[in-house]
Amino acid sequence: MRTLWIDPGQGCAGDMLLAALLDAGASLDVVRAGLAGLRVEPVTVDPVQVRRHGLRATYAQVQAPETETERHLSDVLAVIGKAGLPHEAAAFATAAFQRLAEAEARVHGVGIERIHFHEVGALDAIADVVGCALALHDLDLLGDGVTRVVGPIALGSGTVRAAHGLIPVPVPAVLELVTAAGAPVAEHPGRMELCTPTGAALLAALATAWGPPPAGTPVAVGVGAGTRDPETHPNVVRVVIGTATAAAGAGDGWLDAELHRVDATVDDLDPRVWPTLLDHLRGVGAADAWCTAALGHKGRPAHVLSVLTDAERLDTVCRVVFEHTTTLGVRVSRVERRSLRRDRVRVRVGAAEVGVKRGFLDGRVVTAQPEYDEVVAAAQLNGVPVTHVLAALQGLATVRGIDGLDQALRPE
């Protein structure tokens, strides 16, 4: 299974992380195409090879035009939602901006809907976050089965000039972000801003754990550079992509996780709202969300909304449920989830390729599900009905078929 380790021991900014992911092998064409689909002023990304403190690195030159458009969180989320991004990439970008907005709201002591966003709504911040989301998705690093570990974060010291004037480093939003995420910080001699709010939000949204590299075999390394090249340290962030080593005695069985389940019974909401709400909950980072039909008070038809989430996103999920439904209360319980280890491969069907998500139990493929949007695209490209493509994939996606058709598959 895939692993990711991020080393922000010299700091982290959004463009530095994007550069490191591109340096590790993420497709520049995929990132550029995704950014081109954003309904904002045009932004460009151009990787440049540089040296920082004598070390080779990639610098992501993100260019965005001057704009007078003010974008709040709702505006940014609307831009992401309308861009046609892959679901996992859109969900990650949404979660990162949600964290960033919540931190800024706490810093300024106002509601999240009232805050004026200098950092969140800036075009370069949108490009950094969405670009990282696209790069992570292209590298298959956003799935539930991926272990993503972030090392201690160097924050810096001194002062920096921002929209509100001269403020201390680490800036307040960064402190809020690392505190809320429970992230470890690293001592560092550099008297400059080492970690930006965008960088901190990306790290917080990414981490499934904090600490040293996870056990495994490295397969790719990426080094992303910051703008400056100080004498005190290499101004870079590193990423290491690997394949996991199974724990001794654990076999290749399932993954265990402790989640929270949020339930609410609602009998007075327009049912047309439910699909949008479920997508929104998944977009803010919920592991799953669904509705169950029920019989309510005095025989009224009702729905039970159920959401699975980790502890870090529990408050956000509750807030979304309260804001978007008519319920006056929710029920919160702890649950244990067991999930299969998984990967994604590409399967050729005629003139097209379709992504297939595979689930493993004890090292065997026991389930394989194609991405339906790609099935539809493959059917159109091949000029055949969707059912024909599904039937062809079903033949390939058997346990024996997938294990024996290496020529037809490639890692995604």
Considering the domain architecture, whether residues 239 and 278 belong to the same structural domain is answered as: no
Query: What is the spatial distance between Cα 351 and Cα 378, in angstroms, rounded to a whole number?
Result: 8
State which of 244, 273, 305 marks the end of a domain.
244
237 neighbors 16 (Cβ within 8 angstroms)? yes
Q: Is residue 250 part of a domain?
A: no
pLDDT of the chain along its 412 residues, tens only? 789 999 999 999 999 999 999 999 999 999 999 999 998 888 999 999 999 999 999 999 998 887 777 788 888 999 999 999 998 999 999 999 999 999 988 888 888 876 665 544 588 889 999 999 999 999 999 977 788 999 999 999 998 887 767 889 999 999 999 998 989 999 999 899 999 999 999 999 999 889 999 888 899 999 999 999 999 999 999 999 998 765 433 445 788 888 999 999 999 999 999 999 998 898 888 889 999 999 988 889 999 999 999 888 899 999 999 999 999 999 999 999 888 887 777 788 888 888 888 888 877 778 888 888 889 998 998 899 999 888 888 766 543 333 333 334 344 4
Q: Is residue 270 part of a domain?
A: yes
**What's the distance, Cα to Cα, between the start and end of the chain in Å?**
12
Q: Which two tokens stand for residue 377?
A: 């695209």
Residue 216 neighbours by CB distance under 10 Å: 19
Considering the domain architecture, whether residues 67 and 168 belong to the same structural domain is answered as: yes
Q: Is residue 45 part of a domain?
A: yes
Closest CA relative to residue 178, chosen from 202, 142, 146, 148: 202
Q: Is residue 249 part of a domain?
A: no
Considering the domain architecture, whether residues 298 and 348 belong to the same structural domain is answered as: no
What pLDDT score does 348 carry? 81
State which of 244, 279, 310 marks the end of a domain.
244
8 neighbors 239 (Cβ within 8 angstroms)? no
- Domain coverage including residue 296: 255-339
What pLDDT score does 197 carry? 94
Considering the domain architecture, whether residues 237 and 268 belong to the same structural domain is answered as: no
Query: What is the spatial distance between Cα 138 and Cα 153, in angstroms, rounded to a whole number?
Result: 25
141: left (phi over 0), alpha (psi -120 to 50) or beta: alpha
Query: What is the spatial distance between Cα 233 and Cα 276, in angstroms, rounded to a whole number?
Result: 47
Considering the domain architecture, whether residues 276 and 157 belong to the same structural domain is answered as: no
**For tokens 């703008």, what's the residue?**
227
What pLDDT score does 4 carry? 96
What pLDDT score does 124 carry? 86
Considering the domain architecture, whether residues 235 and 266 belong to the same structural domain is answered as: no
Considering the domain architecture, whether residues 99 and 169 belong to the same structural domain is answered as: yes
Q: Is residue 59 part of a domain?
A: yes
Considering the domain architecture, whether residues 223 and 89 belong to the same structural domain is answered as: yes
pTM for the whole structure = 0.67
Give kind and range of the element (H or E) at residue 125.
Answer: helix 123-138
Considering the domain architecture, whether residues 226 and 261 belong to the same structural domain is answered as: no
The total number of structural domains that make up the chain: 3
**For tokens 């265990």, what's the residue?**
256
Closest CA relative to residue 129, chosen from 93, 179, 154, 104: 93
**For tokens 């724990």, what's the residue?**
247
> 346: domain CATH number?
3.10.20
Considering the domain architecture, whether residues 263 and 392 belong to the same structural domain is answered as: no
> 327: domain CATH number?
3.30.70.1380
Considering the domain architecture, whether residues 236 and 267 belong to the same structural domain is answered as: no
What pLDDT score does 361 carry? 82
Residue 340 neighbours by CB distance under 10 Å: 18
Closest CA relative to residue 313, chosen from 281, 278, 291: 281
Considering the domain architecture, whether residues 306 and 351 belong to the same structural domain is answered as: no
State which of 218, 244, 270 marks the end of a domain.
244
Query: What is the spatial distance between Cα 191 and Cα 60, in angstroms, rounded to a whole number?
Result: 23
